[in-house]
Amino acid sequence: MKLFITYLKGMAMGAADVVPGVSGGTIAFITGLLDPLLDGIRKINPSLFGIVRQQGVKAAFLHINGPFLVCVFGGILTSIFAFAKLISWLIVTHPIPVWSFFFGLILYSVIHMLKQVSQFTVARVVLFALGVLFAWGITVLNPIAIEANYLTFFFAGSIAICAMILPGISGSFILLLMGLYPAVLGAVKGFDIALLACFATGCVLGLLSFSHLLSALLRKFHDATLMFLIGLMLGTLGKIWPWKQVVSWRENSSGQQVPLLEKNLSPFDFQTITGDSHQLVAAIACAFLGIGLVWSLEHFGHRQPQK
């Protein structure tokens, strides 16, 4: 049962990773997956071959907490392949309720993470401010156009995976900035084995290297690292603000016109421009649904150790 719950949490991470602006690392943190996930990945190093030679494959698998890792990544992959088309369709057809849900989810996630900080100092507040500025700076960058090929898929995977396990920064949004998000999503939906293999190889190498750094920072500078990560999460809220007006468009690799630059509007200005008065109630309901989901995960996580 415990492994099945871990699998479901992995699915939640995968669903978040599909959405540009939402980090699977945020889901990992609020569900209690991040620390054991980083710890298991960190143990995948050359010393593992010595354990295989001396104690066998099973011992090495248990050393890295293999059942846990299989459930997490199995859930992530299941969710990505199962929900890629659905989430893409929802973002296009019902953008305001979808973005409102994730806005509420991340907003309460910030509150949840602040509760984990034991003491607020000037240095930690400065790190928080730097995190906000860094994330905000990334969100205002214009997407660039990188040709989709095997090499760029490899490097995109190695960079995006770092963001996928980092609370606050979305791997999907990094892909969007690189201009490769539609190509990667198309490869997933079309099940292009060759491109996905290149992307996955980059993910593995990026994950094995970055997990050591993030794990060390959380062990040695826990509160300071959390404050920076909280700043990252808060700084990305502007990117997922539900009410937007498209300022300019660009043509994607499929020849379709997609938004290039957008500006945030208040719900009332959006209603004035579009004449749509029905979205506000749905948006508020979805935002509270996102808040309620994190609140439920938070309380469930507190109860788990007692069982």
Identify the residue with better confidence: 307 or 247. 247
Mean pLDDT confidence for 222-237: 88
Top-ranked range on mean pLDDT: pick from 25-29, 50-54, 122-126, 240-244: 122-126
Rounded to the nearest integer, the mean pLDDT of the chain is 83
Is the pTM higher than 0.85? Answer: no
Could you give the C-alpha distances from 147 to 98, 100, 118, 164, 190, in angstroms and in order? 29, 32, 46, 22, 18
Mean pLDDT confidence for 242-257: 69
Query: Exposed (0-12), middle (13-18) or buried (19+): which is 301, by Cβ within 10 Å?
Result: middle
| Tally of structural domains, the chain | 1
Per-residue pLDDT band for 288 (boundaries 50, 70, 90) equals: very high
Per-residue model confidence (pLDDT) at position 146: 76
Beta pairing partners, 264? 244
Structural domain boundaries, residue 182: 2-306
Worst-scoring range by mean pLDDT, 106-110, 151-155, 166-170? 166-170
Residue 256 has pLDDT above 90, yes or no: no
Cβ within 8 Å of residue 268, ≥6 positions away? none
